[in-house]
Amino acid sequence: DGGITQSPKYLFRKEGQNVTLSCEQNLNHDAMYWYRQDPGQGLRLIYYSQIVNDFQKGDIAEGYSVSREKKESFPLTVTSAQKNPTAFYLCASSLGQGRNTGELFFGEGSRLTVL
């Protein structure tokens, strides 16, 4: 089955540590996205990528980094510079590259808790 796989589903981190969230898709989609979800705030865009080796900052990129070395993969690193990293993180993909209709396909999410 085609889809998006996020791992780990739950992650605990000590303050000052970097952590990387994995996102892999086998939908052959060009575009990939990372959103952060907090109660009452909806989804906020962290980073997005329309093509391999290229990505753009979203609305809340500070304290996060990404890479897009392969079409299938778009890992997100939450750095120690992120002041309030405890949240639910969602990865998504879409057709992209001029074919985009806006429909996003989401993974199951990763819940990060900073202890």
**Footprint of another protein (CB under 8 A):** 4, 31, 33, 35, 40-45, 48, 50, 56, 58, 88, 90, 92, 94, 96, 100-104, 106-109, 111
As measured in angstroms, the least distance from the Cβ of 108 to another protein is 5
Nearest Cα to Cα of residue 71 among 24, 17, 106? 24
Nearest CA to 68 among 58, 53, 85? 53
Q: Which residue reads 């109660």 in tokens? A: 39
Shortest separation between residue 28's beta carbon and another protein, angstroms: 18
Residues 94 and 104 sit within 8 Å (Cβ to Cβ): yes
Cβ proximity to another protein: between 2 and 16 the closer is 2
Q: Please report how close the Cβ of residue 71 comes to another protein at its closest, in angstroms.
A: 17
> In this complex, which beta carbon is closest to another protein, that of residue 10 or of residue 70?
10
Contacts 24+ apart (CB under 8 A), 40-49: 43/90, 46/76, 46/89, 47/76, 49/74
Residue 82 or residue 94: which is nearer to another protein going by CB?
A: 94
